[in-house]
Chain A
Amino acid sequence: MTLELQHAMKPRPRPDEAARGRFVSGIRSFILNDLAADLHHAYRTRAAGKFRAEHGHEPQSSAEAHKALRGDPAFNIYSSMRVQAQKMVWASVADGVARDAARLEAIAAETDADATVKLAADFVPPRNARAIDVHLMPGSYTGGEGMAAGATYDRGLAVFSMGLMGANLDDIGLSMAAYIKARYPDFSPKAMLDTGCTIGHNSLPWKKAYPGARLVATDVAAPGLRYGASRAKLQGVEADFMQMASDDLQFPDGSFDLVFSSMFLHELPKKVRAKTLQEAYRVLRPGGLMLHMELPPNGQMAPFEAFYLDWDSYYNNEPYYKGYRDEDPRALCATGGFAEESYFQFVVPSIGIYGEEAAKHAATSDAAHAVGAETTGRLADGVMWFGYGAWKK
């Protein structure tokens, strides 16, 4: 399905652009559902057996599953089409974003959104954000003029997500916040920090969950922060957007009760990731919560399912993705300074697909802590989000 954005910065596509976006959403659905099922079938009936014949055992890791699948016709078709479909996502919105540059600036001025944005003078985004076209998005998140990269991301995500990231592209934030509220009813943050917010689509649900708390959303990319500030204003959500790196937070010790991120840590090099968690620990108050929605770790998944997610690391310009998924999140939290026994993890059903009651049910059931092979982290029919965190004592 083609998703219509829920704010005034939504595109006004020409008929041919709308049709092109519809085709890209449709072809992605075909690839991620039908061809992915074929890929799994080929692995079970062909690739794993061929690997066993050559190596004396079935694939035992994501890397071995990758090796088994390379060269298989189902893998070639799935992969070749997925790469091209990803390029088509961004191409399908490029003309509309270029045409709307002045309109976006007018909305920012009208809403006084820039007053809620604090850009850092002479700030140079780190190489992991500016040196590669992350997700194959031309110019990546830090490039281009004005708010174009933010608009490209928002509109591209609407095409990319096939409606599976929520009507407002905020399903991760909604689902995570609902889980935490139900699981920890006494937790009442006064100040919340999102690190790596891009356009803040998963930041704003936390303000709705805890309206009395101050929300600060940070990122290294100025275009997304400015766009996100306008988006927040248009949706009537109060938030401050600040440009800074997650491994060098410009806040005093003990400034926040909640530090969170959504699909962010896997974009960071290993050393930056470790420092990011140390910074989260530093800026949390005692009793505060660090929480990350992320891809589930390879150590908790079977080889095929692990590689199915790791595919993006090799073929979607996300070079740190597999290294991140090879890490143990409990150990990662410990490197940040969190006590090992304060670690917890969970899988929450998508609110947009399963409803709020399902998220609340997951919060009250310890059975919901296990990673499911088929759906967790996959953007396909039946989305489940993996989260983990730790409390600062």
Chain B
Amino acid sequence: MEKVSGERQRPDDAPKGIYGPDGEPIFFAEPGVDRMMAVIMNLASELWVANERSLPADVDRDAEARAFIDRVFAPLREPKE
């Protein structure tokens, strides 16, 4: 069968300039920030994996993971009025 997975199809009304030359969406004015965001999330994930190894068996891992995420990513929240 013809291999075409990975091809880009876009909505007819997609605004101009929302995808980069590689087809990936761009959000920040400096496109490198989008890639840095992905790196930060990957790093946080790997840090959590290492952190979970040290948790006692009887700890609620879902709750701990969520608390970890809230701590690490708190600076991204909108400032409270």
Contact = CB atoms under 8 A, between A and B. Distances in A.
Contact of A131 (B5, B65, B68, B70): B5
A130 B5 contact: yes
Contact of B5 (A70, A139, A313): A139
A29 B66 contact: yes
Given A22-B61, A23-B48, A27-B41, A74 B11 contact: no
Nearest to A142: B5
Interface in B37-51: 37-38, 41-42, 44-45, 48-49
B65 A35 contact: no
Contact of A23 (B25, B53, B65): B65
B61 A314 contact: no
A142 B34 CA distance: 29
A15 B7 CA distance: 34
A86 to B, nearest CB: 11
A267 B73 CA distance: 33
Interface in A50-77: 63, 66-67, 70-71, 74-77
B43 to A, nearest CB: 11
B66 to A, nearest CB: 5
Contacts of B49: 16, 19-20, 23
A268 to B, nearest CB: 12
B5 A319 contact: no
Interface residues of A, number: 57
A380 to B, nearest CB: 15
A320 B11 CA distance: 6
A15 B69 CA distance: 19
Nearest to A2: B62
Contact of A88 (B33, B45, B78): B45
B6 interface: yes
Nearest to A84: B38
Contact of A323 (B4, B11, B24, B27): B11
Contacts of B25: 79, 83, 314-315
A209 interface: no
A132 B5 contact: yes
Contacts of A80: 27-28, 33-34, 37-38
Interface residues of B, number: 44
Contact of B41 (A1, A84, A131, A315): A84
Nearest to B39: A84
A42 interface: yes
B77 to A, nearest CB: 6
Contact of A322 (B11, B24, B34): B11
A151 interface: no
Contacts of B11: 313-314, 319-323
Interface in A290-337: 313-315, 317, 319-323
B5 A74 contact: no
Contacts of B41: 27, 81, 84-85, 88
A124 interface: yes
Contacts of B7: 131-132
Interface in B66-81: 66, 68-70, 73, 76-78
Interface string B9-35: 111111100100000110111000110
Contacts of B12: 323
A314 B52 contact: no
B8 A76 contact: no
A83 B31 CA distance: 14
Contacts of A66: 15
B13 A30 contact: no
Contacts of B61: 2, 19, 22
A138 B3 CA distance: 13
Contacts of B6: 132-133
Interface of A: 1-2, 15-16, 19-20, 22-27, 29-30, 34-35, 38, 41-42, 63, 66-67, 70-71, 74-77, 79-81, 83-85, 87-88, 124, 127-128, 130-133, 138-140, 142-143, 313-315, 317, 319-323
13 contacts: A23-B69, A26-B65, A27-B44, A76-B33, A79-B27, A80-B33, A84-B42, A87-B38, A128-B9, A131-B9, A132-B6, A133-B5, A317-B9
Given A20-B49, A70-B18, A84-B38, 10 more contacts: A2-B61, A20-B45, A26-B66, A30-B66, A35-B77, A70-B15, A75-B27, A81-B76, A130-B1, A319-B11
